[in-house]
Structure 1
């Protein structure tokens, strides 16, 4: 019986510990078309990096680098 191999976290694979809130190109990959933060099962991030990613997106929204709502 085949076993399920889940997606690897791209941050764990590339050994990234700090997710910069100013890196909008990276953060846009984890924001849905409705400008919500994508869940971890949707993009395959681990719990540790999902928390850091959501904090970075929230900080970018506060500094007005990322939008809160779609246009």
Structure 2
């Protein structure tokens, strides 16, 4: 007799979400494309933008950080690709 296939879906383990404590709201500041030290916290080791579930930013500041990173890349302040 043929064996029955297991049709159950496997659970994919995700990283634990970061608490929603937006540092820009706490300090009452705005992300700036010239402040490379702060912007590098929101870029992965592969030079990709991190999502707001990984950064803990609110939606408004996540959009502004993304725009600031894109501006900094355009002005060659940040790399488009990871450094080898």
TM-score by length of 2: 0.74
Structure 2 unmatched ranges of 5 or more? 1-18
Structure 1 unmatched ranges of 5 or more? 1-5
Ranked by relative contact order (alpha carbons within 8 Å, sequence separation 6 or more), the top structure is 1
- Structure number, greater radius of gyration: 2
RMSD: 0.9
TM-score by length of 1: 0.86
> Alignment length, in residue pairs?
65
- The runs of at least 4 aligned residues of structure 1 exceeding 2 Å deviation read none
Within 5 Å, which residues of 2 pair with 1:11-22? 11-16=24-29, 18-22=30-34
